[in-house]
């Protein structure tokens, strides 16, 4: 299978006034099309940083990333933005829905700046599919956390991405909602063959993924594929 994203010797450092924080050090990995990968590790192990680099949200201090066969290390910011809006879907831990927009408007948001003619009914269908169709006209403030994350998931999928990156999507949810979100991710991977990389510090959920990459203090310490 072809690689959707390839990282080679990835390093990310944050320079502080008094020290340099190494968030990621010499990480190499390749994610193939259709894979469901769980990034596990303690808080601060570098999972979110790695997701940001894989999804062209951030640039590495050293190393390189190939996303959909394109080297993105030196690509201009607007080219990275184009890659993200056309090929990558993001789900964030804090949902990060726009407060003044309704659930449906939030889901349609990526279509607002997409050059491709968006399918106007897709947003509503995704909300229906994720069980929040009746909440389409509500603003995030009126939604529960579980509902907000399902809206965020619908938003990540509305541009029909090839790669879905989810940063601790269940961290702020109760057990039942965590289960619902994880089930949805597995369903998307199984039925649509969507490539998914999920960061989680929950070992039980991570164990459900076919491939689990473990990070510790910015270093990749294991990369296990379950058969």
Complex with another protein: residue 112 or 176, whichever CB lies closer: 112
Complex with another protein: residue 46 or 146, whichever CB lies closer: 46
- What CA–CA distances, in Å, run from 152 to 89, 108, 161? 10, 11, 14
Complex with another protein: residue 32 or 96, whichever CB lies closer: 96
- Cβ at position 102, least distance to another protein in Å: 8
Complex with another protein: residue 1 or 14, whichever CB lies closer: 14
- Cβ at position 46, least distance to another protein in Å: 9
- Cβ at position 1, least distance to another protein in Å: 25
Interface residues with another protein (CB under 8 A) are 14, 16, 23, 44, 48-49, 51-52, 55, 57-58, 77-78, 81-86, 88, 90, 92-94, 96, 98-101, 105, 108-110, 112-114, 117, 155, 159, 167-168
Alpha carbon distance 185, 207 (integer Å):
14
Complex with another protein: residue 86 or 186, whichever CB lies closer: 86
- Cβ at position 142, least distance to another protein in Å: 13
User: Closest Cα to residue 160, out of 199, 204, 192, 184?
Assistant: 192
- Cβ at position 85, least distance to another protein in Å: 2
């Amino acid at each position: 299978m072809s690689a959707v994203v390839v990282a080679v010797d990835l390093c990310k450092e944050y320079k502080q006034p008094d020290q340099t924080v190494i968030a990621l050090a010499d990480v190499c990995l390749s994610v193939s099309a259709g894979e469901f990968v769980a990034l596990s590790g303690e808080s601060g192990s570098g999972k979110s940083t790695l997701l940001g680099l894989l999804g062209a949200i951030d640039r590495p201090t050293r190393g390189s990333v190939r996303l959909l066969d394109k080297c993105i290390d030196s690509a201009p910011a607007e080219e990275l933005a184009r890659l993200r809006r056309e090929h990558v879907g993001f789900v964030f831990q804090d949902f990060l829905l726009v407060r003044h927009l309704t659930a449906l408007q939030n889901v349609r948001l990526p279509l607002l700046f997409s050059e491709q003619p968006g399918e106007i009914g897709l947003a509503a269908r995704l909300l229906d599919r994720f069980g929040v169709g009746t909440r389409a006209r509500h603003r995030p403030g009126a939604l529960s956390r579980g509902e907000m994350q399902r809206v965020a998931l619908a938003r990540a999928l509305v541009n029909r991405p090839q790669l879905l990156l989810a940063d601790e999507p269940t961290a702020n949810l109760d057990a039942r909602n965590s289960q619902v979100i994880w089930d949805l991710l597995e369903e998307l991977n199984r039925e649509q063959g969507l490539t998914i990389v999920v960061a989680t510090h929950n070992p039980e959920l991570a164990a459900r993924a076919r491939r689990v990459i473990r990070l510790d203090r910015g270093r990749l310490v294991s990369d296990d594929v379950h058969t």
